[in-house]
Amino acid sequence: MKLISYNVNGIRAALRKGFLDWLKASDADVVALQEVKSTLDQISPAMFEDLGYNVYWHAAGKKGYSGVATLSRITPKKVHYGIGKELFDMEGRVLRLDFDEFAFINTYFPSGTTGEIRQTIKYEFLDDIYELSKDLKEAVPGIIWSGDYNICHKAIDIHDPVSNKKSSGFLPEERAWMDKFTSSGFTDTFRLIHPEIPHQYTWWSYRANSRSKNKGWRIDYHMATENLRERVKDSKILSDIVHSDHCPILLEMD
């Protein structure tokens, strides 16, 4: 099984850059998209359905903002839109598909880069997600929790940990949450396969030629519960794919 997560930073813009051809070539079973920035009526879902995908879309209430979508060739038993909290559900941040052997959760975590108010909202979201994760581990057989977490966990995950130590996305409180989340039973599948490889990033600023210089951040993850750990075959960052300021990440499982 091949699972992909990709913050496309606007699906309509990505489509103009050849996203659909890449999606077809990827031959993925499940694709989680973040920051789609569109409602389903603004694109044609038939383009995805023609590739064999069921299309599940959770748009933000605000036009051109946030939103997640999951494309799946495997029909889920049930689909859950949001987490039951209006503040976050109106921003289209969480979409869960329940399959027989695990739940696949596509999430776009808030950014705190615009100031204190959004950083506070981000911390509230982190608290809610942690509590939800505890409940879900009791309710479903396993979890793959994928998406843009908007947090670099460790110094190896960011190009300059010293100058960014006070930047949202690498704050001590955010990194401590990642410690808590992974300690509670979630495995960072990329570090499971590649524990010590440096300079592996999934997002680069559009400024100062950051991508060409590989001055990036690893903020996109496939997290898996411990009971799925042995099924992980490979976890890759597809940094040569360019439709966005992020790149896709791939998880292969037995």
**pTM of structure:** 0.97
Mean pLDDT of 164-180: 98
Mean pLDDT of 64-73: 98
13 in Cβ contact with 42 (< 8 Å)? no
Residue 122 pLDDT grade (very low, low, confident, very high; cuts 50, 70, 90): very high
Give the active site residues: 148
Q: Is 18 left (phi over 0), alpha (psi -120 to 50) or beta?
A: left
What is the pLDDT at residue 147? 98
Residue 111 pLDDT grade (very low, low, confident, very high; cuts 50, 70, 90): very high
What is the pLDDT at residue 95? 98
Class of domain 2-253: alpha beta
Residue 71 pLDDT grade (very low, low, confident, very high; cuts 50, 70, 90): very high
The rounded distance, in Å, linking the Cα atoms of 105 and 100 is 14
% of the chain with per-residue pLDDT over 70: 100
pLDDT, tens digit (0-9, with 9 covering 90-100), for 184-227: 999 999 999 999 999 999 999 999 999 999 999 999 999 999 99
